[in-house]
């Protein structure tokens, strides 16, 4: 019996030793692999950070990261009439996503009508919350009646269908020519009011 008990203890000891040996062999394989994975993850993170930093450096100053080409924004005014705001390029502000900077914007009011009023410019800024668009640079408005007005800056309220022109304006149309210090447009171009130093020349039939 003592010999059998001693042999059993030796067998158990050998089993524990073999188990520890197997664990050590596994750890020798797992630990280097884990360290390699951590190093790869750190290298990847550094690479991503470098790319993002490079994007930030090459991005023009003041240009938002969210960039859209051939952008279109659709909406309806207070009377349910549709309008479409299009731009060759559009940039969302990084700090205010409701603020959009536009390049070569064109706004078409009352797109469901047979003839619509269109306003275009070199540059524009549009707020999606208030739906107010501010235009500057070669602002041109063509009304449904065929009148064309040109000015340097304008503010369009797409909800009310109005255009405020605080700068001097020159207009031409089927009935003649007109110039003024400023103007206001109501009812999506159906009514135009000129203010300050108004000069007009009517066409004769």
Distances in whole angstroms, Cα of residue 130 to Cα of each of 50, 95, 118, 124, 133:
38, 17, 20, 15, 9
- pLDDT at 53 (0 to 100): 52
Write out the residue range of the structural domain in which residue 110 sits.
Answer: 66-202
Does the pLDDT of residue 127 top 70, yes or no?
Answer: yes
Q: Provide Rg for the chain, Cα atoms.
A: 35
- pLDDT at 57 (0 to 100): 47
Cα-based torsion angle of the residue sequence 168, 171, 177, 181 in order, rounded to the nearest 10 degrees: -20
- One domain for residues 9 and 53: yes
Overall domain count for the chain: 2
End-to-end CA distance of the chain: 135
Does the pLDDT of residue 194 top 90, yes or no?
Answer: no
- Averaged confidence pLDDT in the chain: 81
Q: Where is the domain boundary, 20, 37, 58?
A: 58
Task: Output the six-digit token pair for 76.
Answer: 């309806």
């Amino acid at each position: 019996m003592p010999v059998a008990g001693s042999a059993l203890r030796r067998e158990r000891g050998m089993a524990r030793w073999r188990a520890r040996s197997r664990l050590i062999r596994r750890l020798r394989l797992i630990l280097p692999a884990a360290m390699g994975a951590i190093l790869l993850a750190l290298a990847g993170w550094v690479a991503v950070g470098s790319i993002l930093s490079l994007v930030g450096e090459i991005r023009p100053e003041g240009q938002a990261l969210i960039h859209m080409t051939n952008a279109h924004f659709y909406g309806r005014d207070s009377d349910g009439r549709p309008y479409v705001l299009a731009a060759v390029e559009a940039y969302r502000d990084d700090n205010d996503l409701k603020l959009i900077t536009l390049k070569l914007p064109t706004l078409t009011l009352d797109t469901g009508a047979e003839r619509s009023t269109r306003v275009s410019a070199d540059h524009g800024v549009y707020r999606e919350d208030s739906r107010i668009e501010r235009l500057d640079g070669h602002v041109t408005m063509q009304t449904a009646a065929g009148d064309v007005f040109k000015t340097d800056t304008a503010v369009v309220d797409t909800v009310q269908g109005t255009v405020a022109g605080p700068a001097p304006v020159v207009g031409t149309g089927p009935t003649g020519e007109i110039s003024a210090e400023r103007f206001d447009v109501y009812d999506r171009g159906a009514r135009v009011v000129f203010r300050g130093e108004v000069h007009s020349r009517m066409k004769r039939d």
